[in-house]
Amino acid sequence: MLRFILIRLGQAIPILLAIYTITFFMVRAAPGGPFSQERKVAPHILEQQMEYYGFKDPLPVQFFRTLWQHITFEFPPLTSYPGLTSKDIIVDTFPVSLELGLLAMIVALAIGLPIGILAAAKKNSILDYAPMSLAMVGICLPTFVIGPLLALVFGVWLGWLNISGWFSFSDRILPASTLGLFYAAYIARLTRGGMLETLNMDYIRSARAKGAPEFKVVIVHALRGGIMPVVSFFGPALAGLISGSFVVETIFQVPGLGRHFIQAALSRDHSLILSTVLFYAALIIVANMIVDIVQILLNPKLRYQ
Amino acid sequence: MTNRLFCSALIVILCFNPFSSATPTDDAIEEGILLLGNGSEPHSLDPHINSSMNGHHVIVSLIEGLIAPHPTDDSLPHPGMAYKWEHENNKVWTFHLRDAKWTNGDPVTAHDFVYSFKRILSPRLGSQYSEMLYSMKNAKEYNEGEITDFSQVGAKALDKLTLRVTLKEPVPYFYNIIKHNSWFPVHPETVEKYGVIDDPANNWIREEYVSNGPFKLKNWQMNQIIEVEKNPSYWNADQVKLNGIKFYPIVSENTEDQMFNSGALHYSYTIPTDMIPVYQERNDPTLKIEPFLGVYYYSLNTKVPPLNNPKVRHALSYAVNRNTIVRRITKGGQLPAGNFTPPGISGYEPESIASFNPKRARELITEAGFPNGEGFPKLTLLFNTLESHKAIAEAIQQMWKSILGIDVEIRNQEWKVFVNTRHEGNFEIARNGWIGDYMYPDTFLRILQSDSGQNDAQYSNPEYDRLIAESFSESDTQRRLDLLAEAEAIMLNDMPIIPIYHYVRTYRIDPRVMGWNPTPLDVRNFTNVYFE
């Protein structure tokens, strides 16, 4: 297992390097720069700023300097937030996105898994059609529709929750639900599909033949195999969730990382774009690795491969 | 079992809902705290680095300049750090500072102001608003690195509490310019503690925000909240009625509107356009539509044929029905613009030249050699990606098509790309807008001077430049404004730009908030705001 982890980490280095290179050159190729703005910056001031932020050096120098900054975690000041570095931003905002993402995942699993299992166990009944239709609606309705709707009902009409902000625990409910509902729908569909496949397997028939109660057959015997598609989906989904959601963070005024992801690109903040992209890439790599480990633990067949 | 579940669910819900009808705004009024929507997160709260309105709103609550914002009239001075001032021929201004303190107890001195002017003019700081100080003698030269000795710049501390500012040319409304945050003082020792004078990344604003205004910084969480509390060491602290202000950087207009509806804000920074008619219909007392010193216009590239022909430019302008645009598209009570400078500057009465006149438009396009638009090249109308700009562009495209018979293509670009294209002059017709920095017509007229960096239309008329220059040496107030009005008329007769409408501020405010007066610059003296 240790060897497996080491190999995966070794593979991560060229991947990150490739992502860094592509992002670096894409950012440089994008039209418009960090100092383009409505009020035209006087040439001598532009000159000073380019000098200060190191944009006047030859491209290869900038390439390796920025790379070195990312390896040593010594980041330069940001152009969009003078006085701060990407590290400050990520350290400040990642915990928020992490919390929101994990809560959303809990919501997604708590809703998605039971619905999917129930739908598979009671295939082609009302208990299958009704929740699965709802799941379809959940997938089709984007978060920017569900979010304001929830805010309208629970914030304005009922007055139970704050519409936006990230101050008390109750402020977590609306954004986590909005983000979670979307993923719940996917998880329900994946669970149902996986479970249906497993429930037709021979060993399930054996279990039933031995007289195991239906509940035990579904939850103990079938679920372990039926949940595999969800586990594969879980990795990238988790990385996406905890690195923040621009839409949900904007609607509910959540000070997370997702907004910086988009804002950095809009303000052409080269340093922040690179750092957030690399951070997200690293998260995906780690999440995928964890998923692989979990899959190996769940499926003994994989241990020998 | 089901019952028990239901009961526990109910208890959980009740925990979040104390069933009290008091909203956050009610509670905040009890505590004397004002809850404000503030658009988006300011990039900096450093008065010498900030370039956004959102930052400006917070900074004016924290730092006070020589002259403070007037509570009711943006064109008048109001004593700030200076309790009195005098001038010689509007050129040499002497400010007498009051005995005021920084939040750390140090006195605010004339030397602090000189240090601050030096800081914003330091070339390496790269301040985008250093131009605001260019009326001061040698300020431009120092900023551009032509001179390196700051003592040659027209700012001098005569003693601890007397500051003399010498200008390049007489500026009679100088007290209005220095209300801008670029003229604000910073505490020199604090700035030096966290970096050198001209380091753009000096982070004193987050480490230790030493200020001298009615409020002091209490809590700043990016994209979440900026909280300020009453500053007991402020010279006029007795008159400050609020105990604090919470600024929320709410980007989404819809979220902000819902927050206002749920009683979480006393003031909403803006209103979704679709909701304006709804609140108007309802006669909602919270809705406010007030003049704002800004103009929405199209720049015509005067170097590109056929736009180099003034007849074509006038024909395009006459074919724009501004009333339709403000009534059907913008819907927020904007004013159709007959000229460039927005109304509201007292004594300034420019001629209204741009109007809707389809007959005249057709005549002019025929005279220019394109009867019924025949042979007119296909021009491109460029705007930055935004639904509202697109709606206006489409309407104008249609007006030009039906009245002049000409086809224009409309094209959008992402903001950063767009501003570059426009500054580089790579366009034919481009959307544009300008917000005044102070209450005087030249804050608008200067941008169309031949040597201005904002002159996207690449307009040049020596007579226009001369009249603006001449107005500065004119000592009679009204005559000076008349010269500027004359210049504006000359420019509008050349029509390098098509004025479309003058902006308004639309916002909602809790009726219990008092002392919130309309200000065309949208700069507020929070000292005078209180609750009923």
CB contact under 8 A, A44 and B415: no
CA–CA gap between residue B31 and residue A17 (Å, rounded): 54
State the pLDDT at residue B1. 39
Measure Cα distances from B381 to A39, A139, B317 in Å: 20, 38, 14
Compare CB distances from A48 to B124, B262, B264 and report the shortest one's residue.
Answer: B124
List chain A residues with CB under 8 Å of B223.
93, 249, 253-255, 259
Pairing of strands B78-79, B67-68: antiparallel
CB contact under 8 A, A163 and B258: yes
Which residue do the tokens 């917000």 mark?
B435
Compare CB distances from A39 to B49, B128, B145 and report the shortest one's residue.
Answer: B128
State the pLDDT at residue B15. 45
Closest approach of A221 to chain B, Cα-based (Å):
28
Low-confidence stretches of chain A (pLDDT < 50) are: none
Measure Cα distances from A208 to A211, A213, A221, A227, B492 in Å: 5, 7, 10, 20, 89
CA–CA gap between residue A175 and residue A163 (Å, rounded): 9
Own/partner pairs for B133-141, CB < 8 Å, 24+ apart? Answer: B133/B182, B133/B183, B134/B168, B135/B167, B135/B168, B135/B169, B135/B171, B135/B174, B135/B177, B136/B165, B136/B166, B136/B167, B136/B168, B137/B166, B137/B167, B137/B168, B138/B168, B139/B168
Residue B300 makes CB contacts below 8 A (sequence gap 6+) with B307, B313, B316, B428, B429, B457, B495, B496, B497, B498
Q: Is B368 exposed, middle or buried (0-12, 13-18, 19+ CB in 10 A)?
A: middle
The answer to whether the CB of A116 falls within 8 A of the CB of A134 is no
- Chain centroid, CA B489 distance in Å: 24
State the pLDDT at residue B10. 45
Q: Is A29's Cβ below 8 Å from some Cβ in B?
A: no
CB contact under 8 A, A83 and B44: yes
Residue B393 makes CB contacts below 8 A (sequence gap 6+) with B381, B383, B410, B431
E-strand stretches of B80-183: 82-88, 92-97, 155-159, 162-166
Closest Cα partner for A277 from A14, A23, A21?
A23
Each residue's pLDDT tens digit, A244-254? 788 899 899 99
Q: Is A168's Cβ below 8 Å from some Cβ in B?
A: no
User: Would you tell me the crossing angle of helices B387-404 and B358-367 to the nearest 10 degrees?
Assistant: 70
Q: Is A99's Cβ below 8 Å from some Cβ in B?
A: no
Which of B27, B122, B209, B259 is best to mutate for the A interface (most A CBs within 10 A)?
Answer: B259
Closest approach of A6 to chain B, Cα-based (Å):
38
Secondary structure of A59-113 in HEC code, one letter for each residue: HHHHHHHHHHHHHHCCCCCCCCCCCCCHHHHHHHHHHHHHHHHHHHHHHHHHHHH
Dihedral Cα A75, A76, A80, A81, nearest 10 deg: 80
Closest approach of A53 to chain B, Cα-based (Å):
10
Which of A38, A173, A254 is best to mutate for the B interface (most B CBs within 10 A)?
Answer: A38
List chain A residues with CB under 8 Å of B262.
155-156, 159, 162-163
State the pLDDT at residue A290. 86
Which residue do the tokens 């593979």 mark?
A11
Closest approach of B342 to chain A, Cα-based (Å):
19
State the pLDDT at residue B485. 95
**pTM > 0.95:** no
Q: What is the pLDDT along chain B (532 residues), one digit of tens a residue?
A: 344 544 455 444 444 444 456 889 999 999 999 999 999 999 999 999 998 899 999 999 999 999 999 998 888 999 999 999 999 988 999 999 999 999 999 999 999 999 999 999 999 998 989 989 999 999 999 999 899 999 999 999 999 999 999 999 888 889 999 999 999 999 999 999 999 999 998 999 999 999 999 999 999 999 999 999 999 999 999 999 999 999 999 999 999 999 999 999 999 999 998 899 999 999 999 999 999 999 999 999 999 999 999 999 999 999 999 999 999 999 888 999 999 999 988 889 898 999 999 999 999 999 999 999 899 999 999 999 999 999 999 999 999 999 999 999 999 999 999 999 999 999 999 999 999 999 999 999 999 999 888 899 999 999 999 999 898 878 788 899 999 999 999 999 999 999 999 999 999 999 999 999 888 998 889 999 999 8
Residue-wise burial string across A3-31, b where 16 or more C-beta atoms lie within 10 A, e elsewhere: eeeeeeeeebeeebeebbeebbeebeeee
State the pLDDT at residue B344. 87
State the pLDDT at residue B473. 79
CB contact under 8 A, A253 and B131: no
Which residue do the tokens 């995966």 mark?
A8
The answer to whether the CB of A118 falls within 8 A of the CB of A199 is no
Q: Is A62's Cβ below 8 Å from some Cβ in B?
A: no
Compare CB distances from A163 to B128, B264, B419 and report the shortest one's residue.
Answer: B264
